[in-house]
């Protein structure tokens, strides 16, 4: 293979690596439909036109618990099976039910409100994504460092800086190690944190300083 051919193959490989599939219209519609149904089911909790004995409206906690459980289950099922980190994120952060309340307990908006707001915030994050994956570039002030990433379910990825990893959005923990340098450790939230470039700065082993976690930035052009 000639030198020119090798360059072309390498360039094509980089272009393929940098391509992040956008969220499909079907995925976006599915999330929007689940959101719409959840909002419809919980609208009764804030309906100002109803009349109530004692002033403040009260409902069985089970009404909200059922709406939360159904929306959460449908959201997780809407993501492909391989999107483990994103499914785990919804499992961990979307509320399932009211804590310390039986389904038959009567509750009002003072208790329901925070759960509904938390669910609505999650819907806002998911609907705001134009891609369910991120092509993360890992860069450091010392090249040829070993970057290891771990998901909540125990799956691991490895890359040498400067390198790239195509990841599902979700939560991760990482370590970046290089001989003669202090290991850098930290966490990533690729749902709430925008960015696709992880910039890391090593501190020599003999230094008194402690290395700071890497910074997540957005490169140009953005690869969201």
pLDDT digits (tens, 9 = 90+) for 10-26: 333 443 344 666 777 88
Tokens (6 digits) for 154: 């125990």
For the chain, what percent of residues have pLDDT higher than 90?
A: 68
Does the model's pTM come out above 0.85? no
- pLDDT reported for residue 2: 47
How do beta strands 171-177 and 184-189 pair? antiparallel
- Give mean pLDDT, residues 178-207: 95
Helix orientation angle between 109-127 and 61-78, rounded to the nearest 10 degrees: 10
> Where do the domains of the chain lie?
25-127, 133-217
- Average of per-residue pLDDT across 137-152: 94
Band the pLDDT of 44: cuts 50, 70, 90: confident
Q: How far apart are CA 185 and CA 213, in angstroms?
A: 6
Share of the chain above pLDDT 70, in %: 83
Q: How far is CA 210 from CA 69, 172, 174, in A?
A: 43, 21, 16
Quickly state the pLDDT bin for 108 (edges 50, 70, 90).
confident
> Tell me, what's the pLDDT at 138?
96
CATH entry 2.60.40 includes domain 133-217: yes
Query: Among 37-46, 175-184, 205-214, whose mean pLDDT is lowest?
Result: 37-46
Beta-carbon contacts of 44 under 8 Å, excluding residues fewer than 6 positions away, are: 50, 59, 63
- Return the higher-pLDDT residue of 116 and 57: 116
Dump pLDDT digits (tens) for 49-98.
554 545 566 788 999 999 999 999 999 999 999 999 999 999 999 999 99
* pLDDT recorded at residue 49: 52
pLDDT at 59: 83
């Amino acid at each position: 293979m000639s030198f020119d051919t090798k360059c072309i193959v390498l360039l094509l490989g980089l272009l393929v690596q940098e391509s992040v599939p956008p969220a499909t219209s079907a995925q976006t519609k599915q999330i929007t439909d689940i959101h719409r149904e959840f909002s419809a089911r919980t609208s009764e909790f804030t309906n100002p036109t109803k009349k109530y004995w004692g002033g403040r409206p009260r409902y069985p906690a089970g009404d909200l618990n059922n709406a939360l459980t159904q929306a959460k289950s449908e959201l997780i099922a809407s993501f492909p099976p391989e999107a483990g980190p994103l499914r785990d994120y919804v499992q961990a952060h979307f509320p399932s039910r009211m804590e310390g309340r039986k389904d038959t307990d009567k509750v009002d908006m003072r208790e329901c409100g925070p759960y509904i707001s938390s669910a609505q915030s999650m819907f806002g994050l998911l609907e705001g994504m134009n891609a369910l994956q991120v092509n993360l570039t890992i860069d450091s002030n010392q090249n040829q460092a070993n970057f290891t990433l771990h998901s909540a379910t125990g799956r691991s990825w490895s890359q040498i800086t400067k390198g790239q990893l195509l990841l599902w959005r979700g939560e991760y923990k990482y370590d970046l190690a290089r001989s003669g340098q202090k290991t850098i450790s930290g966490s990533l939230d690729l749902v709430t944190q925008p960015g696709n470039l992880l910039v890391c700065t090593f501190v020599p082993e003999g230094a008194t300083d402690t290395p700071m976690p890497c910074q997540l930035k957005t490169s140009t052009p953005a690869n969201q």
